[in-house]
Structure 1
C-alpha cells in the first residue's frame, strides 16, 4: 500500500482515491507545477493536504474564502493536524505570533487570503518558512475572464521568485478553456501537468420547468423525492419565507444565509445533515465545504447569475452516484424581470466612487488614513442614510472587496466581552473538575491577563485557534461558565464586518480599479446571457449545453434531463399514434382530415405520424388523397 493511501485511510478513513486525485498528488510529489480542474465534489483539498503531510515543512494554501479556510482548518484540527488561517481582522501582533507558531511549532498548513501577500513584512516572514507546497484554491480568481476575478491573485506569481523549487498546485472547480489558459499564464506555472476531470455528472438529471405556481411544483417534487433536498433562493427574505411556507405545508424545512448567528447556522446545518429536516432553503452562502452524499434534489426557484455558480450548486446533488435531480423553476415573467434587474444593479465608475467616498465618510475615515481599521457594518442602514439602492450598492461594495480595497465578511459575527467574577483559585478548581473545558479557559487567561479586573473584548476566532476548538465550542463553554456564575459574559450581534485594507485615496483608488469594473460588468452580462441561453434552448440536451459552456463536447444525449425526457415522451406518443392510425386504416382508406376527426390528438402530431408511416413504407397515399395500408 502506498504512503499516500495510508495517510488517506488514517486521517480521512477512505480506502481509495477518486480520479484523478492520486495522479495530482504524484505530480506534486515529483516537484512539478500542476493545474487541476475538478468540478465541485471532486475532493480538491485532498490533492494538497496529503502531499503536504508526506513531506517535511509546511503547505501554504491561498484562498479568498474566509468561511472555507475556517472550515478546512477546523477539519484538519479535528484530525490532530496542525493548521492556522490568517483571516481578516487579525491584528499585526497576533499575526506575528501565528507566524512564529508556523516557524517553530511544527505546523503543517498555513491558510491565508491573497490580500495578505500585499504586505511586504508578511511576505518576508513567509520567505523564511519551510514551504513544501503552494496550493492556490479558487485559482480562477486570477483570471479577468473568471467569474470571481481578484487582482490580489496576480501577486501570487511573485512567490515563484521566493520559492523557485517549490511546486505550485492551482485548483479550480469551474474554468472555461480561456480561464484555464489565463490561470497558467498569470500564476507563472512552468510546464505544468494538467488534470481535468470531466464536468459530466451522469447521475444528475438537469431539469428546467417553465411554471407559474412554483410552490405547488416544489410540493410535488418533495413528496415524490423524500430524501434530503436543497432549495436555493436569491436573498435572505426569500430564505425565511420559503422555509416557513414549506413548514406550513407539512414539510420539515430549515434555512441558512450569511446573516444568521453562528450558533443558528450550526444548529440549522446539523439538523439538515442529521436528517431531522428534509429541506435546507439557502442563499449561495450555503455550500462551502458541505459534502452530504445523499442529496436527492437541488432546486433553484430564481435564476442564477452565471452557469459557474449554478453548476457548483446543482452539483451538490447525487454525490453518492445515485440518480439525483437539479431542477430550475422559471417563468416568462422571471426572465424579463431578472434581466431588467440584473442590468440595473451593475455599478458604473461614478456610482462606485460615490459609494466608496460615502463609506469612508460613514466611518469618519480621513484622507490618507484608514488602513487596517475594522468596523461593524449594516448594509441596509448605510443605504437608508444615503438613499442608495441596496443591490447596486452591495455589488459596488463586493467589487471593492474583490479588488482588495476593503474586506467584507458577510458572516454573522459576535462582539463578546468577558470578565471572570470568581477568584483565580476557584477557576483552577473548576478546571480540575471539568478537564474538557481546560484548553479554552487557559487560552483566554493567557491571552487576557487582566480579565479578572475588568470586562475584556474577546477575539473569538483567535481563542478558537489558540485552544484548537471551533468558535461554536468556545461559545458553548462561555455560556456554561456564565450559567455557573463564573464569568460575566455579554455578546452583541453584528451583521457584517468591514475592514479597510489600504489608506483612503479616493480618485487614485477608484481610477486604479475602474478598468476592471468595465471588464467585469461586460463579463457578467455575457455570463447572464449564457444562463438565458441555457434556459431558453429547448431543442438540445441540457447536459450537453452545460458541458459545451465549459468547453467539453458530448456527442450523445444524457437521456435523463428535461429535454431528453420530453423527446422520449414524444417518441412514445408518436409510436402510440402510429399504431392507432394503422388500426383505422385496416377498416377503410381515409384522408388526413378524416383521421384527425376520429382521433383526439393535435393535428400537427397526426400529420407528423402520417409522414413517418409513409417514410417507413407502412402506408401509401392514393390518387384520391386517401391513405391506405400498403399491401
Structure 2
C-alpha cells in the first residue's frame, strides 16, 4: 500500500482516492507545478493535504474564504493535525507569535488570505519557513475574468521567486478556458501538469420549471422526494418565511443565513446534517465546506447571480452518486427581479467613493490612519444613518473587500462593553464568595487596564482562551456581575465586522481600483445574461452548462427538464392543448387550478399554456388567471 493511501485511510478514513486525486498528489510529490480543475464534490482539499503530510515541513494554503479557512483548520485539528490560520483583526505581535509557532512548533498547515501577502514583512517571514507546498484555493480569483477576482492574489507569484523548487498547486471548482490560462500566467506556474475533470454529473438531473405558484411546486417536489434537501433563497427574511411555511405543511425544516450567531448556525446545521429535518432553507452564505452525500434535491427559488455559483450550489445534490435533482423555479417576474437585484445595484465609482469616505467617518478614522483596525458593523444602521440603499452599499463593501481595502466578515457578533462600578476590594470579596468566577474576573482585570474608570469593550473569546474556559462561562460571569450591580454592561448586536487593511486615503484609494470596478460590472452583467440564457433556452440543460465551461462534443443528458419534455408524444401534447382550451371556455383559471382540475403535471400545464399564448388564443389577467381572447 502506498504511503499516500495509508495517510488517507489513517486521517480521513477513506478507503480509496477519487479520480483524479491520486494523480494530482503524485504530481505534487514530484515537485511539479500543478493545476487542478475539480468540480464541486471533487475533493480538492485532499489534493494538497495528503502530499503535505508526506513531505517534511509545512504547507502554505492561500484562500479568500475566511469561513472555509476556519472550517478547514478545525477539521485538521479534529484529526490531530497541527494547523494554524492568520485571520484578520489580529495584531502584528500576535501574527509574529503565530509565525514563530509555525517555524518552531512542527505545524503542518498554515492558512492565510491573499491580503496578508500585501504586507512585505509577512512575505519575508514566510521565506524563513520550511514550506513544502504552496496551495492556492479558489484560484479563479487570480483571474480578472474570474467571478470573484481579487487583486491581492496577484502577489502570490512573488513567492515563486523565492520558493523555486517548491511545487505550486492551483485549485478551483469553476473556470472557463480563458480563466484557466489567466490563472497559470498570473501565478507564473512553470510547465504545470493540468488536471481537468469533466463538469458532467451523470446522476444529476437539471430541471428548469416555469411556475407562477412556486410554493405549491416546492411542496410537490419535496413530497415526491422526501430525502435531504436544500432550498436556496435570495435573502434572510425568505429563509425564515419559507422554513415556517414548510413546517406548516408538516415538512420538517430549518434555515441558515449569515446573520445567525455561531450557536444558531451550529444547531441548525446539526439538525440538517443528522437528518433530523428534511430541508435547510438558506442564502448563498451556506454551503462552503459542506459535504453531505445524501442530498437528493437542491431547489433555487430565484435566478442565481451566475452559472458558476449555480453549478456549485446545485452540485451539492447527489454526491453519493445516486439520482438527484438540481431544480430552478422561475416565473414571469424573475428576469426583471434578477436585473434589479444584481445589475441596477452595482456601484459606480462615485458611489463607491462616497461609501468608503462615510465608512471611515462612521468609525472616526482620520486621513492616513486606520490600518489593521477592526470594528463591529451593522449594515442596516450604517445605511440608515447615511441614507444609502442597502443592496448597493453591500455590493460596494464587497468590492472593497475583494480589493483587500477592507476585510468584511459576515458573522453575527455581540459587542460587549463593561465598566466596574464598585471598589476593587469589593471585587476581591466577591471572588472569595464565588471562587468559580475568580479566574475569569482576574483575567478581565489583567487584560483591560482602566476598566474601573472607563466603559471598555471586551473580547469574550480572548478572555475564554486566556482563562482556559469557554465563552459561555465568561458571559455567565459577566451577566452575574451585572445582576449583582458590580459592573455596567452594554451589549450591541452586529451582523458583521470590518477590518481596515490600508490607511485611509479617500480618492487615492478609490482611483487605484476604479478600473477593476468597471471590469467587474461588465463581467457581472455578462454572467447574469448567461444564466438567463440557460433558463430560457430550449435545449438540454446539462449541455448548456457544459458548453459554458468550454467542454466540447457533448451529448444530451436525457434526464433534464428539456430532454424529458422532448420525449413527450406530440399527439398527446395536442390533446392537452385542446383540454386546457376547452376548460377555459367555462371560467378563468390560474395555472395551478388548470393543473388541479385536469390532474396533469406542472410541465404539461405550462406547455399547453405556452402553446395557447403563442397562438394568441388566451391571455392572462391581473389575478394571474388565464382567459380566452
Report the TM range for the smaller structure's normalisation.
0.7 to 0.9
Instruction: Decide whether aligned partners of structure 1 residues 197 and 303 sit closer, same or farther in structure 2, where only a CA change above 3 A counts.
Output: same
Alignment-derived partner of residue 555 in structure 2: 556
Whole-Å separation in 1 of the counterparts to 2:353 and 2:491:
35
Alignment-derived partner of residue 180 in structure 1: 180
Instruction: Decide whether aligned partners of structure 1 residues 381 and 183 sit closer, same or farther in structure 2, where only a CA change above 3 A counts.
Output: same
- Map 1:155-234 to 2 at 5 A: 155-234=155-234
Matched position secondary structure for 2:292: coil
| CA RMSD between the two structures | 3.1
Q: What's the TM-score, normalizing by structure 2?
A: 0.84
Q: Is this contact kept in 2: 1:239–1:256, CA < 8 A?
A: yes
Matched position secondary structure for 1:216: helix
- Map 1:87-486 to 2 at 5 A: 87-415=87-415, 449-450=446-447, 459=459, 474-476=470-472, 478=474
1:205-261: CA deviations, max 9, x gaps? Answer: 000001010000000011011111100011111111111111122211111000101
Alignment-derived partner of residue 516 in structure 1: 516
Whole-Å separation in 2 of the counterparts to 1:430 and 1:2:
52
Instruction: Decide whether aligned partners of structure 1 residues 573 and 445 sit closer, same or farther in structure 2, where only a CA change above 3 A counts.
Output: farther
Whole-Å separation in 2 of the counterparts to 1:289 and 1:283:
15
Whole-Å separation in 2 of the counterparts to 1:306 and 1:286:
16
Instruction: Decide whether aligned partners of structure 1 residues 425 and 344 sit closer, same or farther in structure 2, where only a CA change above 3 A counts.
Output: same
Give the drift of 1:491.
Answer: 6.2
Whole-Å separation in 2 of the counterparts to 1:509 and 1:283:
31
Alignment-derived partner of residue 621 in structure 1: none
Give the drift of 1:483.
Answer: 9.7
Instruction: Decide whether aligned partners of structure 1 residues 352 and 324 sit closer, same or farther in structure 2, where only a CA change above 3 A counts.
Output: same
Give the drift of 1:570.
Answer: 3.1
Whole-Å separation in 2 of the counterparts to 1:10 and 1:430:
41
Whole-Å separation in 2 of the counterparts to 1:552 and 1:351:
39
Alignment-derived partner of residue 546 in structure 2: 547
Q: Is this contact kept in 1: 2:463–2:474, CA < 8 A?
A: no
Matched position secondary structure for 1:332: coil
Mapped pair 1:567 → 2:566: yes
Instruction: Decide whether aligned partners of structure 1 residues 463 and 101 sit closer, same or farther in structure 2, where only a CA change above 3 A counts.
Output: farther
Whole-Å separation in 2 of the counterparts to 1:552 and 1:237:
38
Whole-Å separation in 1 of the counterparts to 2:104 and 2:378:
40
Give the drift of 1:163.
Answer: 1.0
Give the drift of 1:91.
Answer: 1.3
Worse-matched range after superposition: 199-208 or 417-426:
417-426
Which structure 2 segments of 5+ residues have no match?
Answer: 421-426, 577-603, 609-629
1:278-306: CA deviations, max 9, x gaps? Answer: 11000000001100010000000011010
Alignment-derived partner of residue 3 in structure 1: 3
Q: Is this contact kept in 2: 1:373–1:500, CA < 8 A?
A: yes
1:2-25: CA deviations, max 9, x gaps? Answer: 000000001110000001110111
1:315-334: CA deviations, max 9, x gaps? Answer: 00000000000000001211
Instruction: Decide whether aligned partners of structure 1 residues 576 and 336 sit closer, same or farther in structure 2, where only a CA change above 3 A counts.
Output: closer
Worse-matched range after superposition: 349-358 or 278-287:
349-358
Worse-matched range after superposition: 353-362 or 453-462:
453-462
Alignment-derived partner of residue 584 in structure 2: none
Q: Is this contact kept in 2: 1:544–1:553, CA < 8 A?
A: no
Aligned residues: 566
Instruction: Decide whether aligned partners of structure 1 residues 555 and 496 sit closer, same or farther in structure 2, where only a CA change above 3 A counts.
Output: closer
Q: Is this contact kept in 2: 1:544–1:554, CA < 8 A?
A: no
Matched position secondary structure for 1:344: coil
Give the drift of 1:476.
Answer: 4.7
Whole-Å separation in 2 of the counterparts to 1:478 and 1:522:
49
Worse-matched range after superposition: 546-555 or 568-577:
568-577
Which structure 1 segments of 5+ residues have no match?
Answer: 432-440, 578-600, 606-631
Give the drift of 1:339.
Answer: 2.1
Instruction: Decide whether aligned partners of structure 1 residues 131 and 223 sit closer, same or farther in structure 2, where only a CA change above 3 A counts.
Output: same
Instruction: Decide whether aligned partners of structure 1 residues 353 and 479 sit closer, same or farther in structure 2, where only a CA change above 3 A counts.
Output: closer
Instruction: Decide whether aligned partners of structure 1 residues 459 and 97 sit closer, same or farther in structure 2, where only a CA change above 3 A counts.
Output: farther
Whole-Å separation in 1 of the counterparts to 2:571 and 2:205:
20
Give the drift of 1:366.
Answer: 1.3
Give the drift of 1:447.
Answer: 10
Q: Is this contact kept in 2: 1:421–1:452, CA < 8 A?
A: no
Matched position secondary structure for 2:85: strand
Q: Is this contact kept in 2: 1:547–1:554, CA < 8 A?
A: no
Matched position secondary structure for 1:516: helix
Alignment-derived partner of residue 537 in structure 1: 537
Whole-Å separation in 2 of the counterparts to 1:4 and 1:553:
33
Whole-Å separation in 2 of the counterparts to 1:393 and 1:229:
32
Alignment-derived partner of residue 51 in structure 2: 51
Whole-Å separation in 1 of the counterparts to 2:435 and 2:240:
44
Whole-Å separation in 2 of the counterparts to 1:458 and 1:200:
50
Instruction: Decide whether aligned partners of structure 1 residues 563 and 445 sit closer, same or farther in structure 2, where only a CA change above 3 A counts.
Output: farther
Alignment-derived partner of residue 70 in structure 1: 70
Alignment-derived partner of residue 526 in structure 1: 526
Q: Is this contact kept in 2: 1:229–1:296, CA < 8 A?
A: yes
Whole-Å separation in 1 of the counterparts to 2:43 and 2:303:
27
Q: Is this contact kept in 1: 2:142–2:149, CA < 8 A?
A: yes
Instruction: Decide whether aligned partners of structure 1 residues 277 and 526 sit closer, same or farther in structure 2, where only a CA change above 3 A counts.
Output: same
Q: Is this contact kept in 1: 2:461–2:471, CA < 8 A?
A: no
Give the drift of 1:384.
Answer: 1.2
Whole-Å separation in 2 of the counterparts to 1:570 and 1:86:
60
